[in-house]
Amino acid sequence: MKAQDWFALAVRIVGIALLLIPGLGTLLESLLLKLGYIILPDTYPAYYLIHGAAQVVAGLFLIRGAPSLVEFAYPTRDDDQTDTEDDVGPITRVD
């Protein structure tokens, strides 16, 4: 695997482990606050709802948007691309 592949994998893992899963937990806490199963004084369920939704959206963006982030981090250059056989003509011997 190349560095770009490892970077894409790391971006997706961060999206899942650090944003998507905790975001779903925060959305669950918002629901539990709204239903009254958790009582925290001076706490609004809307705060947890907005925070959880932002985490889920950011996590999904990292999971689905990893190729665009890899392209941004590792831009392709013309000299990175190798010639194929179609680009190179036949070798002829000159006497």
For residue 41, what pLDDT is reported?
A: 86
CB 40 within 8 A of CB 91: no
Listed by start position, the domains of the chain span 3-74
Candidates 64, 48, 88, 68; CA nearest to 16 is 64
How high is the pLDDT of residue 43?
86
pTM: 0.72
Name 95's Cβ contacts closer than 8 Å, sequence gap at least 6: none
pLDDT 10s digit of each residue in the chain, 95 long?
Answer: 888 899 999 999 999 999 999 999 999 999 999 998 988 888 889 999 999 999 999 999 999 988 899 899 888 876 655 555 555 556 677 76
